[in-house]
């Protein structure tokens, strides 16, 4: 009495819509669970709140710190009323300790507007205790590779899962040399 893989595959193929809806529902509940457990005052691990993150103001070419729950791009703090001036999340790393002298920016992150809007709607639904719409969840699931953009200079952007995006991450993984350890750095980290 074992699992008949061929019968299971056939059932999944015949019921693909139900399987997709089930997967989306599980994803919605998983995201809601993660969001509530990371939110202040939620109990569990909720008292820690979001981790601060580095952002890069393209207008001033300087880093600044914001709450980790912000999705890039955000308005530039140096020109908050100018929609053409933006700031992007800066992923900082070190090959040693995370002192300012040792840190470097590995890449910048931004999201396409449609993808960012879908994430925001899903987060708002989780905050209000309701489920995000299946179209938002499916867009996020299908669009993650296309919706998340990365750049080494905050000017030329590529999709995270594109050959160019993979090359950025590959080059970053070799930054510390043979046997070196790449360490992510966050504001206030020693």
- What does the pLDDT look like over 112-143, one tens digit per residue? 988 888 878 877 877 787 766 666 565 556 55
What is the SS3 assignment for 106? strand
Q: Are 28 and 140 in contact (CB under 8 A)?
A: no
Q: How big is the chain by its Cα radius of gyration, in Å?
A: 20
Which residue did the predictor score with more confidence, 26 or 7?
A: 7
Counting residues of the chain whose pLDDT is more than 90, the rounded percentage is 48
Q: Are 156 and 138 in contact (CB under 8 A)?
A: no
Q: What is the pLDDT of residue 44?
A: 45
Confidence class for position 183, pLDDT limits 50, 70, 90: very high
Rounded (10°) CA dihedral 20, 149, 88, 155: -160
- What does the pLDDT look like over 28-53, one tens digit per residue? 656 655 655 544 443 444 445 678 99
Total Cβ atoms within 10 A of residue 24: 20
Q: What is the pLDDT of residue 158?
A: 95
- What does the pLDDT look like over 81-93, one tens digit per residue? 999 999 999 999 9
- What does the pLDDT look like over 142-164, one tens digit per residue? 555 568 999 999 999 999 989 99
Q: What is the pLDDT of residue 41?
A: 40
In whole numbers, what is the pLDDT of the chain averaged over residues?
A: 81
Residue 143's alpha-carbon distances to 35, 58, 112, in angstroms, are 20, 25, 10
Q: What is the pLDDT of residue 142?
A: 56
Residue whose C-alpha is closest to residue 151's, from 98, 89, 100, 103? 89
């Amino acid at each position: 009495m074992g699992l008949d893989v061929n019968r299971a595959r056939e059932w999944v193929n015949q019921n693909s819509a139900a399987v997709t809806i089930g997967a989306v529902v599980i994803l919605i509940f998983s995201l809601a669970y993660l969001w509530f457990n990371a939110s202040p005052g939620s109990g569990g691990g909720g008292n820690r709140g979001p981790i601060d993150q580095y952002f890069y103001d393209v207008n001033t070419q300087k880093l600044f710190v914001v709450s980790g729950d912000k999705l890039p791009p955000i308005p530039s703090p140096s020109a908050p009323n100018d929609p053409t001036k933006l700031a992007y999340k800066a992923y900082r790393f070190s090959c040693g300790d995370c002192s300012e002298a040792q840190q470097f920016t590995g890449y910048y992150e931004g999201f396409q507007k449609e993808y960012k809007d879908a994430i925001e709607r899903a987060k708002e639904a989780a905050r209000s205790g309701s489920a995000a719409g299946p179209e938002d969840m499916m867009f996020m699931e299908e669009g993650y590779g296309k919706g998340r953009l990365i750049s080494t200079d905050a000017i030329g952007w590529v999709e995270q899962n594109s050959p160019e995006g993979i090359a950025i991450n590959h080059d970053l993984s070799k930054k510390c040399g043979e046997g070196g350890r790449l360490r992510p750095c966050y504001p206030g980290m020693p």
